[in-house]
Amino acid sequence: MTAQPIRLFGDPVLRSPAAPVEVFDKELRNLVRDLTETMQQAPGAGLSANQIGVALRVFTYDIDGVVGHLINPDLDLSSEMEEGPEGCLSLPGLTFDTPRAIRTVAKGFNMHGEPVVLEGSGLLARCVQHETDHLDGVLFIDRLNPAERKAAMKEIRQSEWFSAQPPLVKINPHQFDRWF
Ligand code: NI
């Protein structure tokens, strides 16, 4: 069990859709343990596997003391939405009110390949949507209105963690265009 470095905005792994898990083996169980430990050490309310550089459809959550994981999530969303504060371990320091469905039913599997249904509202629903977005290569700032998103991008560009990332020094305009 080892906590892993969390990938930050600008890392291409956060923009690549993750692949479904097909083999429920020891390696997968190790991934779930690493992900859980990394999330708890951060600490965070949720973490997706691509945030630690593994492009598989797995996320963990820690909501109101309930710690768990979900593999290959398939979501049903309520049509009713609500705005609420949201942040992301891959975008340190940023918090923006983000619209999300109030209730979710998330179907998937546990690390032993057994079917699991995770049903909830409020923070759990927000977490499940945030993490499943990660697995689709989507970040919470993509869910903001254009003005808020512009403000978020400005904060990112001014942040120390963003300017400290070596690959971003070499970034070309075409790659940058994709994020807006
Ligand atoms: Ni996140």
How far is the C-alpha of 170 from the C-alpha of 6, rounded, in Å? 21
Burial of 22 (0-12, 13-18, 19+ CB in 10 A): exposed
Question: Which residues are within 5 Å of ligand 1 (an ion), measured at CB?
Answer: 88
Distance 139 CA to ligand 1 centre (A): 7
The proportion of the chain whose per-residue pLDDT surpasses 90, expressed as a percent, equals 89
For the segment 28-45, what is each residue's pLDDT rounded down to a tens digit?
Answer: 999 999 999 999 999 999
Q: Is 82 a catalytic residue?
A: no
C-alpha–C-alpha distance, residues 146 and 14, integer Å:
21
pLDDT: which is higher, 180 or 62: 62
All structural domains of the chain: 12-158 (3.90.45.10)
Name the catalytic one among 82, 86, 114, 131.
131
pLDDT at 177 over 50: no
Cα–Cα distance for residue pair 54/61, rounded to 1 Å = 17
In terms of DSSP bridges, do strands 58-63 and 46-48 run parallel, antiparallel, or are they unpaired? antiparallel
Ligand 1 centroid to residue 91 C-alpha, Å: 7
pLDDT band at 167 (very low <50, low <70, confident <90, very high): low
Q: Does residue 110 carry a pLDDT above 70?
A: yes
Supply the pLDDT for residue 73.
98
pLDDT at residue 163 greater than cutoff 90:
no
